[in-house]
Amino acid sequence: MLPVGSCENGTMPELRYDLPVRPRRNRRNAAIRGLMRETELSPAHLILPLFVTGGEDVRIPIGAMPGCFRLSVDHTVALARQAWELGVRALALFPALPDSVKDPRATESLNPNGLLQRTVRALKDALPDLVVITDVAMDPYSSDGHDGYLEDGQIINDVSLEILASMAVSQAQAGADYVAPSDMMDGRVGVLREALDEEGFTNTGILAYSAKYASSFYGPFREALDSAPRSGDKKTYQMDPANRREALREVLLDVAEGADIVMVKPAMPYLDVVAEVSAHVDVPVAAYQVSGEFAMIKAASQNGWLSEEAAVDESLIAIRRAGADMILTYFAMDYARRYRG
């Protein structure tokens, strides 16, 4: 770098150094930046998670998730129509159930007329091509608030698998396009695939929560579903936030067992994991911007500490850039509303 100008007479020459490489040339205006953009995010990449509740015309706000509600089936269908019109064509459903129907074996999850099953049917009747994704885990239905079956303080893997497989079949019967095991039991993807195929649901896909971490960022979600574990924590099945190599092990097992899509969760604190996973698999990769990530952006922007729209756009494009093909986000409709091709 040679200095080619001087400031001796008080004028500042525009060119002071002979820099042959100036990356700023490619950022001069919005049109140029548009040409250079490496990552795109459209509403077609987004999946909206929704909390459903019983009754009719019910809309219960969720304290730690401003703008999110537990919705009765009628409101869920209405919102799904709006989402569809905005280009968000996939939903992930989570049922919020009263304690009175919860038990240790999550029996309610198999009820063909249960809340989730009724919601799936209503959605598919209203919008046949809507991609309906259902969660396979015991926690919304379990009096213990765990994702697997609890006995004497232990989560029993293989008993859980039987329950989860029946749950997945029940969801497929209701019309789910993808069942999404979020339970982190060993071997669940293979067991689910076999159970679905045996019942003839060869077209029902499996979106596996493959690298799901034992994260503090699920707090608001557990409030929304009142699904926090009644005892202990989830660290014997969800992953240690310190581990990256282990994520690959989990993901590769799920792919071998037949997962159609693998997922990393949460998203932003685990972008290195998203990148690692997407570099190593040949199936699509999803990432879940979870309730705590949503709540952080909301809270900071409500305080005037962040610009919500800019923070949402940046967080979502960062998740895509890291390697996610699709993103579950509570901001899906907000993003879609202001999306301009």
Among 161, 211, 255, 290, the residue binding ligand PBG under the rule CB under 6 A is 290
Q: Is 222 in the site for ligand PBG (CB under 6 A)?
A: yes
Q: Which of 102, 212, 234, 298 is catalytic?
A: 212
260 token code pair: 């159609």
Q: What is the nearest approach in angstroms of ligand PBG to the Cβ of residue 234?
A: 6
- In terms of DSSP H, where are the helices of the chain? 30-36, 73-86, 115-126, 157-174, 188-198, 219-225, 245-257, 271-280, 291-302, 308-322, 332-338
Q: Is 213 in the site for ligand PBG (CB under 6 A)?
A: no
C-alpha dihedral, 208 to 213 to 217 to 223, nearest 10°:
60
Q: In this structure, what are the phi and psi dihedrals at residue 57, rounded to the nearest 5 degrees?
A: 55, 45
Considering CB under 6 A, how many residues would be counted as binding ligand PBG?
Answer: 11
Q: How would you label 273-311 residue by residue, b for 16+ Cβ within 10 Å and e otherwise?
A: bbbbbbeebebebbbbbbbbbbbbbbeebeeeebeeeeb
Q: In this structure, what are the phi and psi dihedrals at residue 122, rounded to the nearest 5 degrees?
A: -65, -40
What residues numbered 99-158 form the site for ligand PBG, per CB under 6 A? 135, 137, 139, 147
Among 53, 76, 171, 182, the residue binding ligand PBG under the rule CB under 6 A is 182
Helix (H) or strand (E) holding 181: strand 178-181
Q: Is 265 a catalytic residue?
A: yes
Q: Is 280 in the site for ligand PBG (CB under 6 A)?
A: no
Q: Is 51 in the site for ligand PBG (CB under 6 A)?
A: no
Q: What is the nearest approach in angstroms of ligand PBG to the Cβ of residue 215?
A: 8
Closer residue to ligand PBG (CB): 137 or 285 = 137
Q: Is 124 a catalytic residue?
A: no
Closer residue to ligand PBG (CB): 126 or 166 = 166
Among 117, 142, 291, 329, the residue binding ligand PBG under the rule CB under 6 A is 291
Q: Can you give the binding site for ligand PBG, defined by CB under 6 A? A: 135, 137, 139, 147, 182, 218, 221-222, 234, 290-291
Q: What positions carry a catalytic annotation?
A: 212, 265
